[in-house]
Amino acid sequence: MKRKVLSALLSVAMVATMLVGCGSSSQPAAAPADTAASAEEAQAADAAPAEEEAQTADAAADGDLIVVGYAQVGAESDWRTANTESFKTTFTEENGYQLIFDDAQQKQENQIKAIRSFIQQEVDYIVVAPVVETGWETVLEEAKEAGIPVILSDRMMDVSDESLYTCWVGGNFEKEGQDAAKWLADKLEADGRGDEEINIVTLQGTIGASAQVGRTEGFGSGMKDNWNMLAMQTGEFTQSKGQEVMESFLKQYDDIDVVVCENDNMAFGAVDAIKAAGKTCGPEGDIIIISFDAVSAAFDSMIAGDINASFECNPLHGPRVAEIIQKLEAGEEVDKIQYVDEAYFDTTMDLKKIQSERLY
């Protein structure tokens, strides 16, 4: 860890001083013959961990590993699992990194606690996937004072001073929402329903999260005059909550044409609720299901005929963040906003072939 080079060197110096002191002490009396072997064994046992500690200290002193602390939102969805795995497989010792990973379990206070822990541990870089956009100013000031760059992944932070973080990596959530609205308009037109009154409900993500804000606003900007947004309610990005909210929508409205789900897991819950209510969905059903993230399970659902389309939010941020860190290590400037490549997929495509070629 580069920030602990000086500490490691001081520790080595202290150990050396202690060894000199021990060497100058008077010689102990010779051990009895029957205890000599056990003493040698004890010395060997003590030497092994000491040697390992010395190697670790040498690695730290040499600055071999770049230490990265990652404050993850949680494990609320398949997308999040893929995102976490991307970081864990990228930031390995083989690649020159030590990753300190923290799962915040969907709580901002846990993420703030993790960031402060990273600062205390003097990591080289902090990566955060913020659960919500606001409430970060104080802890980011602390990281800035400690001289630790902060990189945002997936979701944005709404701060008054953008110098508090180095850059952001993620999907263009607003564009995803806009693309979904355009796709729906094109589909309805192709189906001869372009002028028909269309009733829509939305399962929103965690309120205040960048993905929720962007997708809600993006889809809203593409709403047509003959589209009615009957209701919007958070499903918290989880399958169980998505199913619960969809069950409520179905009880309130008997004429739903489209369900917009702001992630795949909520879409899975919505499908379960629709089927349990005796209704149909998907390309051959009565209700159109639009989803976001495009994880592998969403492809399974589209192939099964349950979901019409899923708009990709690429979770593989690890390599891009590593690329940014290497540029910063080299003293190079990096772009403040960095979008990952994304697409969309629907049931008109060869989904099995596409799915077989994807990493998530």
Phi, psi (5° rounding) for residue 261?
-110, 120
**58 domain-assigned:** no
pLDDT at 14 over 50: no
pLDDT for position 52: 38
> Which has the closest alpha carbon to 82: 318, 299, 329, 315?
315
Taking residues 24-39, what's their average pLDDT?
A: 37
Taking residues 193-198, what's their average pLDDT?
A: 98
Q: How many domains does the chain have?
A: 2
Packed helices 5-23 and 33-62: angle between N→C axes, nearest 10 degrees? 150
Cβ atoms of residues 104 and 110 within 8 Å:
yes
CB neighbours of residue 37 within 10 Å: 10
Gap between the Cα atoms of 59 and 78, Å rounded: 36
Whether residues 350 and 235 fall in one domain? yes
With b meaning 16 or more CB within 10 Å and e meaning fewer, what string describes 223-259?
A: eeeebbeeebbbbbbbbebbbbbbbebbeeeeebbbb
Segments forming the whole domain that contains residue 305: 173-313+346-356
The model's pLDDT over 317-343, given as tens digits with 9 standing for 90+, comes to 999 999 999 999 999 999 999 999 899
Whether residues 150 and 269 fall in one domain? no
The model's pLDDT over 231-278, given as tens digits with 9 standing for 90+, comes to 999 999 999 999 999 999 999 999 999 999 999 999 999 999 999 999
pLDDT at 119 over 90: yes
> Which has the closest alpha carbon to 271: 290, 295, 294?
290
The reported pTM is 0.74
pLDDT for position 167: 98
Whether residues 107 and 194 fall in one domain? no
> Which has the closest alpha carbon to 223: 202, 206, 250?
202
pLDDT at 193 over 70: yes
Whether residues 352 and 248 fall in one domain? yes
Cβ atoms of residues 170 and 143 within 8 Å:
no
Gap between the Cα atoms of 91 and 72, Å rounded: 14
pLDDT for position 207: 95
pLDDT for position 32: 39
Q: What CATH number should be reported for the domain holding residue 239?
A: 3.40.50.2300
Whether residues 252 and 324 fall in one domain? no
> Which has the closest alpha carbon to 200: 174, 171, 170, 233?
233
The model's pLDDT over 47-70, given as tens digits with 9 standing for 90+, comes to 443 443 334 334 444 568 999 999
CB neighbours of residue 202 within 10 Å: 26
Burial of 293 (0-12, 13-18, 19+ CB in 10 A): buried
CB neighbours of residue 275 within 10 Å: 13
Whether residues 214 and 156 fall in one domain? no
pLDDT at 46 over 90: no
pLDDT at 38 over 70: no
CB neighbours of residue 170 within 10 Å: 25
Whether residues 198 and 306 fall in one domain? yes
The model's pLDDT over 140-174, given as tens digits with 9 standing for 90+, comes to 999 999 999 999 999 899 999 999 999 999 999 99
Gap between the Cα atoms of 269 and 38, Å rounded: 64
Computed over every residue of the chain, the mean pLDDT equals 87
Residue recorded with tokens 């010779």: 30
**209 domain-assigned:** yes
Cα separation values, 330 from 26, 114, 297, 323, Å? 52, 27, 39, 11
Element (H, E) at 232: strand 227-234
pLDDT at 2 over 90: no
